[in-house]
Structure 1
Amino acid sequence: MKHTICHIVTKLELGGAQFTTLFTVAHLDRVRFRPILITGEPGLLDDEARKLEGVEFYQVPSLVRLIRPWRDLRAFVELTRLLKSLRPAIVHTHSSKAGILGRWSAWLAGVPIIIHTIHGYGITPAQSRWLQFLLIGLERLTGLITTRWILVSEADAVKGLRWKLFGQGTFMVIRPGADTRLFQGSPLPISDTGKFRAECGVGLEHLLVGTVAPLKPQKAPQDFVAVAARVCARVPAARFVWVGDGELRPGVEAAIRRAGLEGRIRLAGWRRDIPDVMRAMDLFLLTSHWEGLPQVLLQARANCVPIVATRAGGSAEAFVEGKHGWLCDPGDIEALAAQVIRLLMDSAERDRMRRNGGHIPNEFNMWVALRKREQLYAMLLAAQRRGVPSEAELRERPTD
């Protein structure tokens, strides 16, 4: 008997949570599971999701990221109606809005097992204290109907325990994996990385510092520009590229103009040839103010690119400081710039870090992570068939 597993995500944009969700539904064991994907407002990956073989795809346009009370109510009603008709054995939600509305819709629809993955919290330092308090309370309340939580980093697990969102034995850490077929010197055909550098106006004599991320507050692109300004003043050969797009693009473009860096920083927009992009970089820079566990850091590490990143969320768990790169506090422009300058001026240090790269631990392999999710589904389904799971069953952990 196949069990219907329904994944719900707010928007299929280019991001770690979305790639993890798509990979999961695309590769779930079809002998045991029937995968369904529900998403909300239109995103860049919608067409890719529709083409997934053997995956049923549904869209609820009223499900949007921003808080819109009337649209949220409509999304809740539509999700509940859809889940009642699909009758899944498990609902697995991702992202903040889908996590709240999806879990309550699943509960009202009588879904027996409800799982939520936290790919980094929607409770952020950019929010007011009262809003953070409200969101923590809402997550605590929704936790009462959540069968199991999945965290992508130990840092998020510690934070969730501190906020009392869940208790010991009701959560587990499953890493977001990197697709090792595309990284770690894979045999897949890779184009000449000089092509990307040429598109950015970067020659062999230049040092290219880059990042891959959406232009949104979480990723702090204004900090990226501020770091670039300090680095360019000290390192004439330095060039910067931001691969990604988003709501903050007009403001970032204005900041680049104000700094007089139009010829030194390029906004490259979204690209899908990330292995080529990574291989073209001399240094990877991530300026995030908050994170779950950024897959781009795993990709940079696997692709032998030295890293400078902030200690946001689980970033420190993605690579070994001093071996693959360096960490700084979020928002510390001077420290970030100093580390970038030091590495750009020390080719021997960069070469050492490149030699240390090219491998990621098994826990970060996407296929290993997928098997752990499947084992969790099977364990919870077996426990549900036997009745209310015991404390020992709740504390059981799927193995590698």
Structure 2
Amino acid sequence: MVAYPFVGDEVGGSHISAVGLIRALDRSKYVPLVILHRPGKALEGYLSERGLPFVTSPEVAVMSPRLLHGIGSKLSGAFGYVRTTARLSSFLREKHVDIVHTNDGQMHATWALAARLSGARLLWHHRGDPGAFGVNFIAPILANHIVTVSRYVQPTRPILPVSHKLSVLHSPFDHPTRLPDREACRCEFVRELGLPEETRFVGYVGGLIDRKRPVRFVEAVHAFLQRFPDFPLVGLVFGVPSPNLPNPEPAVRTRALELGVESRIKMMGFRAPVEPCISALDALLVPAVNEPFGRTLIEAMLLETPVIATRHGGNVEAIVDDVTGFLVEPEKPEAFVDPLAKLLMKVGEHRRIRSAARASALTKYGTAAHVEGISLLYERIVGRNDRNIGARTTAP
């Protein structure tokens, strides 16, 4: 049995990737146990729509890596962590869990020690900062294996050598068999927003968090309009703030007002499905820094929406500049202008980039390859002759 614990209060890229893996697992070999700390919130609905059952975690405090960093000097925090670990360890033994597969910083911090004390193996799936405390100080000690979503996010200063238990596996992506009608998607948003028929769209798609630089998106749209003031361009911002991080939406609105482009920036909130939203765009702009490996970027490539992204983080592993998209200098909104002008004003350029991008994404990114890679890691960390993780069929 493989346990997948989640907080449950949001649905982000890590959740989409993990759910894609869980749904595709070979049930004759692996029994997934999805665990939610906070049922009744966003992730429960997402699981229900996809037919995945879950169980509720024992009532414990959800830890954060920052708490563990200073826990030695916080006696009450240390006692709380001991209680949490004891309850979760007992829970894992009762459920006969063989592997705990954690997918974000809070779940790493909350479940890592409990997994090892219960006798289960720990697969630490790292999707964030390569310099993070957890992946450099906790994972080297407790994880049986560390898998990262890109080379960029491999731990930079691990306290112990990890090369013998470190793999890179890109996130899984479903390949759309039928592409949305791009013109119909564009026209739908033109009608919804009451804009002129000739309006063209560029977009920001993702969580509204500072690392993804939504304010830079506004500045990139402004920079383009400074050079081409008569071009009917509108920027669409798809996404909502994270419940656990500062909300940059007020700064986005303020910056648009300061630059005089408030009528050209539309806050679209969360939309599902996202495919028509991405297909309505002439280009996806990715101004993020320290992006581990953005799902939206690959989804856009699969949908034949050209991508202009910063030359930073995992973006450089996904895009070949001027072949499958464009890479520009980070923190320089004006750098987006030239490649965007190419895409908007040269039909042949748009067709060239989007065709190459889809062909590349279809070749490199698929659910089957990801599931096969993770399954091999499960077998490796358990040991083919140590435990048969397919033999336990206790339902959640």
1:23: how far off? 1.5
CA distance in 1, matches of 2:22, 2:111: 17
The answer for the alignment partner of 1:62 in structure 2 is: 61
1:349: how far off? 1.7
The answer for the alignment partner of 1:219 in structure 2 is: 212
1:362: how far off? 3.9
Matched ranges for 1:372-383 at <5 A: 372-383=373-384
The answer for the alignment partner of 1:168 in structure 2 is: 163
Match of 1:152 among 149, 155, 175: 149
The answer for the alignment partner of 1:100 in structure 2 is: 109
1:114: how far off? 0.7
CA distance in 1, matches of 2:364, 2:381: 21
Match of 2:16 among 13, 16, 19: 19
Moved more, 273-282 or 161-170: 161-170
CA distance in 1, matches of 2:33, 2:181: 32
Moved more, 239-248 or 49-58: 49-58
Moved more, 56-65 or 17-26: 56-65
1:383: how far off? 4.5
Match of 2:30 among 28, 33, 52: 33
SS at match of 1:153: coil
1:57: how far off? 2.9
Structure 1, unaligned runs of 5 or more: 124-131, 387-400
Distance 1:66 1:189, change over 3 A: farther
Task: Give the TM-score normalised by structure 2.
Answer: 0.82
Distance 1:52 1:349, change over 3 A: closer
Distance 1:54 1:341, change over 3 A: closer
Contact kept, 8 Å, 1:308 with 1:339, in 2: the verdict is yes
Distance 1:190 1:226, change over 3 A: closer
1:179: how far off? 1.0
Match of 2:118 among 80, 86, 109: 109
SS at match of 1:177: coil
Task: Give the TM-score normalised by structure 1.
Answer: 0.82
CA distance in 2, matches of 1:77, 1:222: 44
Question: Highest relative contact order (Cα 8 Å, sep 6+), 1 or 2?
Answer: 2
Query: Is 2:255 the counterpart of 1:262?
Result: no
The answer for the alignment partner of 1:298 in structure 2 is: 298
CA distance in 2, matches of 1:228, 1:190: 21
Distance 1:97 1:31, change over 3 A: same
The answer for the alignment partner of 1:397 in structure 2 is: none
The answer for the alignment partner of 2:310 in structure 1 is: 310
The answer for the alignment partner of 1:357 in structure 2 is: 357
CA distance in 2, matches of 1:279, 1:178: 16
The answer for the alignment partner of 1:282 in structure 2 is: 282
1:169: how far off? 2.4
Query: Is 2:211 the counterpart of 1:196?
Result: no
The residue identity in structure 2 corresponding to 1:380 is: I
CA distance in 2, matches of 1:50, 1:142: 31
Query: Is 2:2 the counterpart of 1:5?
Result: yes
Contact kept, 8 Å, 2:98 with 2:119, in 1: the verdict is no
1:220: how far off? 0.8
SS at match of 1:291: coil
SS at match of 2:358: coil
1:103: how far off? 0.9
1:305: how far off? 1.2
SS at match of 1:266: strand
SS at match of 2:173: coil
The answer for the alignment partner of 1:327 in structure 2 is: 327
1:299: how far off? 0.9
Describe the superposition over 1:150-209 as per-residue Cα deviations: whole angstroms up to 9, x where unpaired. 11112223xx255566522211111112211xx3535x9999412134324444412211
Contact kept, 8 Å, 1:49 with 1:57, in 2: the verdict is no
Contact kept, 8 Å, 1:120 with 1:313, in 2: the verdict is no
C-alpha RMSD of matched pairs (Å): 3.0
SS at match of 1:358: helix
CA distance in 1, matches of 2:60, 2:294: 27
CA distance in 1, matches of 2:347, 2:149: 33
CA distance in 2, matches of 1:371, 1:217: 34
Distance 1:350 1:91, change over 3 A: same
The answer for the alignment partner of 2:244 in structure 1 is: none
The answer for the alignment partner of 1:129 in structure 2 is: none
SS at match of 1:205: coil
1:341: how far off? 3.7
1:259: how far off? 2.3
Match of 2:222 among 221, 229, 252: 229
The residue identity in structure 2 corresponding to 1:176 is: S
Distance 1:5 1:261, change over 3 A: same
Distance 1:141 1:378, change over 3 A: closer
Distance 1:250 1:161, change over 3 A: closer
1:335: how far off? 1.6
The answer for the alignment partner of 2:370 in structure 1 is: 369
1:255: how far off? 2.1
The residue identity in structure 2 corresponding to 1:121 is: D
Contact kept, 8 Å, 1:50 with 1:57, in 2: the verdict is no
SS at match of 2:35: strand
Structure 2, unaligned runs of 5 or more: 242-246, 388-396
Q: Percent identity?
A: 21
SS at match of 1:169: helix
CA distance in 2, matches of 1:77, 1:252: 44
CA distance in 2, matches of 1:108, 1:173: 26
Describe the superposition over 1:274-313 as per-residue Cα deviations: whole angstroms up to 9, x where unpaired. 1111111101101111111111111111111111101232
The residue identity in structure 2 corresponding to 1:287 is: P
